[in-house]
Chains A and B, each alone.
Chain A
Amino acid sequence: MSLFKYSSPTAFYPLAGKLVPWFAALAAIFAVIGLYLGLFVAPEDFQQGEVYRIIFIHVPAAWMAMVIYLAMAMYGVMALTFNTRLSAMMMEALAPTGAIFTALALWTGALWGKPTWGTYWAWDARMTSTLILLFLYIGYLALINAIEDKKRADKAGALLVIVGSVNVPIIYFSVKWWNTLHQGASVSVTASPKMAAIMLWAMLIMAIACWTYAITISLVRVRAIILERERGRSHSTRVANTLSATNIVAGS
């Protein structure tokens, strides 16, 4: 399979470089269309007024928070079973983006909650489990940064995310259970009014924008990680050499 060729960091580096501008362009285009539809075309919500428009950021961000963690877990399985270094590098590249989307989901949720329900934070099942997801991201980042040996950090991080992903459904279920146990303290964020088709479209397009943004950023980041890690390695000096060669050519 020719695809396996790209499981080597050195082979993936130039490919990622070629993909970055495309995904960046897609992300920009979809973001512009999505924001235009969401902020200008979509009608005002008859209950919430203009405030509801934050969902065009909030909902895609919350989706990405989950999706990126699952993607990391899948890369983690690959890193441990096939011992592919690139998988672990992709995890490391995805984690900050996932953490930022999680924080964004929490922050926009709070901003949305204040005018709508009169409180920034409610111990709602979704908000609480999103907060815990943020803790899981922070734990992963703390672990891989605390371990000096990169090989060990890769594997330890992969194992941690796999254990975490097994726990995510249990955490979500337990928090929901806990929430029903303590009725009254919470507000229901789930009760969304029937959405107009244009709202749905705006949200989906924004979701695609977030996807492509996440892919762009993690490709840029994984390129940086490859360069940093492969510094001084024999077969990677090739990458560095090609790079400096192109720089010299460009400079002369």
Chain B
Amino acid sequence: MTATLNSLTQIDSPVFQPERGFIVAMARDARLAARSKGEAIQALAFFVVVVSLFPLAIGPESALLKRIAPGVVWVAALLSVLLTLPRMFANDHADGTLEQLALSVYPLPTIVAGKIVAHWLMTGLPLAVLSPLLGLQFGLASGELAVLCVSLILGTPVLSMIGAIGAALTLGVRGGSILLALLVLPLYIPVLIFGAGAVEQAMVSIDFSANLSLLGAIVLLAGLAVPFAVAAALKISLD
């Protein structure tokens, strides 16, 4: 029986294929998210509700609303991502699969990268796709809506990445979610400035490409360094 099994066994050489770890982790989190669709939808609903609160708090004056729209949408996106961060590693930590991931044949940074991309696909990307609809409520023109959407597509991956560091550091810590916000929000400021700034520049017909380029540069730099930082943070938290 063992002999027949061996013939069926496909041997990966995992050491040579670190990108497999990325794919395994991403597919795994995507499937898990598909099992509990509610969570992704809740974050999206939160985003819509928060954005809708501002006109109620400030008043329906359309010029003012249009003026604050980029900031409002960006801050709401930031808060929605923040809400989803604790469960990035907490479930895996609680059921013991995080230890298995850390002991996986694949390098932990590749697994972390896969989890971050999965997180972005579940939270940041839907927010960005939905954002033009909310911008419309605030009276943004079509060109401005496009810039808003693009700025969120470029910026939200960074929110997932920096958030992953915070989530890994606060894993299993009492009062972790508030602490997580305290750690992560100051580090979100550059992304917020460049993201909302791009839309504001588009609104006053200034060239906004510099802001988007800066966001792109941050995504690339963070993408190189963050998986290693998160892996280090997870090792610290598992110790």
Contact A181 B197 (CB under 8 A): yes
Determine the main DSSP class of A at the interface with B: helix
- Using an 8 Å CB-CB cutoff, how does the interface string of A142-186 with B read, 1 for contact, 0 for none? 110011100110011001100110110011011101100100000
Contact A159 B233 (CB under 8 A): yes
Task: List B contacts of A70 (CB < 8 A).
Answer: none
Contact A159 B190 (CB under 8 A): no
Question: Complex Cα distance A143/B168, Å?
Answer: 12
Decide yes or no: A146 and B173 within 8 Å by CB, A139-B183, A152-B236 being known contacts. yes
Question: Complex Cα distance A135/B186, Å?
Answer: 7
User: Which residues of A119-153 have CB atoms within 8 Å of chain B's CB atoms?
Assistant: 132, 135-136, 138-139, 142-143, 146-148, 151-152
Task: List A contacts of B193 (CB < 8 A).
Answer: 174-175, 177-178
Contact A167 B187 (CB under 8 A): yes
Contact B186 A160 (CB under 8 A): no
Give how many A-B residue pairs fall within 8 Å (CB-CB): 77
Q: Among the listed A142, A156, A171, A175, which residue makes an inter-chain contact with B233, where contact means beta carbons less than 8 Å apart?
A: A156
Contact A152 B237 (CB under 8 A): yes
A136 to chain B, nearest CB (A): 6
Contact A152 B187 (CB under 8 A): no
Residue of B nearest to A169 (CB): B190
Question: Complex Cα distance A157/B116, Å?
Answer: 22
Q: Among the listed A151, A160, A163, A164, which residue makes an inter-chain contact with B239, where contact means beta carbons less than 8 Å apart?
A: A151
Mark the stretch among B22-30, B41-49, B174-182 that contacts chain A. B174-182
Task: List A contacts of B232 (CB < 8 A).
Answer: 80, 159
How many chain B residues touch A (CB < 8 A): the figure is: 29
Contact B197 A177 (CB under 8 A): yes
How many chain A residues touch B (CB < 8 A): the figure is: 29
Contact B201 A143 (CB under 8 A): no
User: Is B89's CB within 8 Å of the partner chain A?
Assistant: no
Question: Complex Cα distance A173/B211, Å?
Answer: 12
Question: Complex Cα distance A166/B225, Å?
Answer: 11
Contact B236 A159 (CB under 8 A): yes
Question: Complex Cα distance A132/B236, Å?
Answer: 26
Task: List B contacts of A170 (CB < 8 A).
Answer: 190, 218
Contact A142 B182 (CB under 8 A): yes
Residue of A nearest to B176 (CB): A146
User: Is B165's CB within 8 Å of the partner chain A?
Assistant: yes
User: Which residues of B137-184 have CB atoms within 8 Å of chain A's CB atoms?
Assistant: 165, 169-170, 173-176, 179, 182-183
Contact B218 A146 (CB under 8 A): no
Residue of A nearest to B229 (CB): A163
Task: List A contacts of B169 (CB < 8 A).
Answer: 143, 156, 159-160
Question: Complex Cα distance A74/B45, Å?
Answer: 43
Task: List B contacts of A177 (CB < 8 A).
Answer: 193-194, 197, 214
User: Which residues of B65-102 have CB atoms within 8 Å of chain A's CB atoms?
Assistant: none
A184 to chain B, nearest CB (A): 13
Decide yes or no: A139 and B182 within 8 Å by CB, A156-B236, A171-B190 being known contacts. yes
Contact A174 B182 (CB under 8 A): no
B86 to chain A, nearest CB (A): 14
Q: Among the listed B189, B233, B237, which residue makes an inter-chain contact with A132, where contact means beta carbons less than 8 Å apart?
A: B189
B residues with CB within 8 A of A? 165, 169-170, 173-176, 179, 182-183, 185-187, 189-190, 193-194, 197, 200-201, 214, 218, 225, 229, 232-233, 236-237, 239
Q: Given known contacts A164-B186, A174-B190, what 5 new A-B pairs fall within 8 Å (CB)?
A: A135-B182, A156-B236, A159-B233, A174-B214, A177-B193
Query: Can you give 24 contacting A-B residue pairs, CB < 8 Å?
Result: A80-B232, A132-B186, A136-B186, A138-B182, A146-B170, A146-B173, A146-B179, A147-B173, A156-B233, A156-B236, A156-B237, A159-B232, A159-B233, A160-B169, A164-B187, A166-B225, A171-B187, A174-B190, A174-B193, A174-B194, A175-B193, A177-B214, A181-B200, A181-B201
